[in-house]
């Protein structure tokens, strides 16, 4: 078998194992958690017999083995069943919320990375200068402030004291008429949450990029490039940043699942109807099908991001071999 093929067979096999382990853990962990969806119904007007009916409705009256087999079949076919709390198909629930979450997270994440990268490179280039100190300080503040606090302050400032942005939601009430007006209204509603996420997210990137670029700038090949008379700008953006690209790509892709789950607080503060909040509600409400489906998708995103990171890193850095004799 060729090394490349062998490498990818191994990686894909590993990924499948991870998915399988998470699938099993997903099923049993939720059931090992204290309480169950019926036990937490605390209403003295609900008799034990009515609770038994509810258990049957949720399918919890079946033996655990039967429940497990049904769960495996559902995960394999992407039919996650009906959510306990909404009684709607879980996939439908997730897909309904996904556009809101993507509209929030994609621009926020890309802008954070872009801003962080630019500022990180500037800081690396201007070592010891005010620019570097400013970026380091801003990065540290952005990186370390609790998101909930920052978002509440922003909401207070820009939606209450200076009412430039709306206080809540993704649409005005009543909504405007016409496609373009609705689009503009949605952008207006998303501006503050996106801005808050950029504010909270760029710092980590700036610090990472700065550190990586500073390290690369001291490498022999950079000294050689400088000696060959390559301009400072090309040196920095063309050589240093490219050399720092593999770890940045890995970080970029591996942060994706965390970004999705990190949307919980933002969606709560700005009253947005997204996947993050759905995930939290499902876990808190012990909604097994919803939590199982959401975590399964999150696992697929994580594993997929990992594989994609491996692939892109190889493309970005030809020095990285793909296993076999060549890698030693």
Partner 1 sequence: MGGFKRWLAGALGALAMAVPLALPAQGAGVDLERIRGPKVRDLYLVVVRDPDAAILALERGKLDILGDVTRPSDIRRLSKDPRFSLSMAENFHMAQVGFNLRKFPWNVQELRRAAAMAIPRDRLVRELFSGYSAPLTTFLPPVSPYCDKSAAAPGLDAEGARALLKKAGWTWNGSGILVPPGSKTPLPPATILSPTAGVAPTTAELADRIAAALREIGIPVKAEPLDFAAMVQRIDERKFDLYLMAWQLGRDPDSLYSFYHSSMDVRGGYNQTGLKDAVMDGLLEALRYSPDEPAARKAAKAVQKALADRLPIIPIYTRYSVAAVSREWKGAVVTKASAADNSWSLLSMEPASGRERPLYWALGDEPRTLNPFTASTATDWQVLGLVYDTLLAVNPNDLSDLPWLARSWKVETMAKAGAPKTRLTFSLRGDVFWQDGKPFTAKDVKATLLFLKKHAIPRYFDSVRDIESVTVPDDRTVVVTMKNVSYWHLHSIGGLPLFPAALLDRIRDWRSWQPSRTPLPGKTGLTELYGTGPFVFRESKAGDFVRFTRNERFWLIPR
Residues that bind partner 1 (CB under 8 A): 33-35, 38-42, 44-54, 57, 82, 85-88, 96-97, 100, 152, 155-156, 159-160, 163, 167-171, 173-175, 268-274, 277, 286
Q: In this complex, which beta carbon is closest to partner 1, that of residue 132 or of residue 267?
A: 267
Given a contact cutoff of 8 angstroms between Cβ atoms, the answer to whether 313 and 304 are in contact is no
- The residue (of 192 and 217) whose beta carbon lies closer to partner 1 is 192
169 versus 231: smaller Cβ distance to partner 1: 169
| Shorter beta-carbon distance to partner 1: residue 166 or 204 | 166
Say if residue 174 is preceded by a cis peptide, omega within 30 of 0. Answer: yes
23 vs 152 by CB, closer to partner 1? 152
Strand partners, 41: none
Total residues found in the chain within this entry:
328
Minimum Å gap between C-beta 175 and partner 1 is 7
Query: Nearest approach, Cβ of 279 to partner 1 (angstroms)?
Result: 14
Q: Are residues 259 and 86 in contact, defined by beta-carbon separation less than 8 angstroms?
A: no
**Cβ atoms within 10 Å of 279's Cβ, excluding its own:** 25
Residues 32/33/37/38 CA torsion (nearest 10 deg) = 70
In the bound complex, what is the minimum distance in angstroms from residue 77's beta carbon to partner 1?
Answer: 17
C-beta closer to partner 1: residue 287 or 310: 287
CA 270 – CA 264 distance, rounded (Å):
10
- Cβ proximity to partner 1: between 91 and 225 the closer is 91
Residue 109 vs 270, nearer CB to partner 1? 270
In whole angstroms, what is the distance from residue 294 CA to residue 22 CA?
Answer: 12
CA triple 126-128-134, angle to 5 deg: 75
Least CB distance to partner 1 at residue 222 (A): 49
Task: Please give the span between the terminal C-alpha atoms of the chain, in angstroms, as a whole number.
Answer: 17
Which H/E stretch holds residue 321? none
Q: Which two tokens stand for residue 179?
A: 């496609």
Residue in the structure block whose two tokens are 């939590």: 291
| Least CB distance to partner 1 at residue 51 (A) | 4
* Minimum gap (Å) between residue 75 Cβ and partner 1: 20
Q: How far is the CB of 30 from partner 1 (least distance, A)?
A: 11
Contacts of residue 23, Cβ cutoff 8 Å, sequence gap at least 6: 72, 75, 296, 299
Look at the alpha carbons of 205, 165, 279, 285 in this order and tell me if their dihedral is positive or negative.
Answer: positive
Question: Residue 319 and residue 314: Cα distance in Å, rounded?
Answer: 8
- The CB-of-147 to partner 1 minimum distance in angstroms stands at 13
Question: Nearer to partner 1 by C-beta: 151 or 299?
Answer: 151
- Closest approach, Cβ 161 to partner 1, in A, equals 10
Handedness of CA 134, 137, 142, 145 (dihedral sign): negative
Separation CA 324–CA 328 (nearest Å): 8
């Amino acid at each position: 078998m060729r090394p490349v093929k062998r490498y990818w067979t191994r990686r894909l096999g590993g990924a499948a194992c991870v998915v399988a382990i998470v699938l099993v853990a997903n099923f049993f962990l939720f059931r090992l958690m204290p309480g169950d969806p019926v036990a937490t119904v605390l209403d003295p007007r609900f008799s034990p017999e009515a609770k038994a009916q509810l258990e049957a409705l949720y399918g919890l009256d079946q033996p655990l083995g039967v429940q497990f087999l049904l769960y495996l079949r559902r995960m394999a076919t992407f039919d996650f069943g009906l959510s306990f709390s909404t009684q709607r198909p879980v996939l439908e629930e997730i897909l309904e919320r996904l556009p809101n979450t993507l509209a929030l997270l994609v621009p926020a994440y890309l802008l954070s990375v872009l801003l962080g990268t630019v500022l990180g490179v500037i800081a690396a280039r201007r070592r010891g200068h005010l620019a570097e100190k400013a970026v380091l300080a801003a990065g540290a503040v952005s990186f370390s402030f609790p998101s909930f606090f920052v978002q509440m302050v922003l909401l207070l400032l820009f939606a209450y004291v200076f009412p430039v942005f709306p206080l809540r939601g993704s649409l005005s009430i009543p909504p405007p008429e016409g496609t373009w007006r609705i689009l503009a209204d949605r952008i207006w509603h998303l501006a503050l949450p996106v801005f808050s996420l950029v504010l909270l997210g760029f710092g980590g990137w700036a610090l990472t990029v700065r550190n990586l670029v500073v390290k690369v700038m001291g490498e022999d090949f950079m000294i050689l490039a400088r000696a060959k008379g390559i301009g400072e700008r090309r040196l920095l953006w063309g050589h240093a940043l490219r050399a720092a690209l593999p770890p940045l790509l890995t970080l970029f892709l591996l942060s994706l699942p965390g970004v999705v789950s990190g949307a919980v607080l933002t969606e709560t503060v700005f009253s947005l109807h997204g996947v993050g909040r759905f995930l939290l509600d499902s876990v808190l409400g012990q909604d097994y099908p919803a939590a199982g489906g959401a975590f399964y998708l999150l696992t697929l995103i994580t594993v997929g991001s990992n594989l994609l990171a491996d692939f892109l890193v190889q493309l970005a850095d030809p020095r990285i071999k793909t296993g076999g004799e060549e890698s030693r």
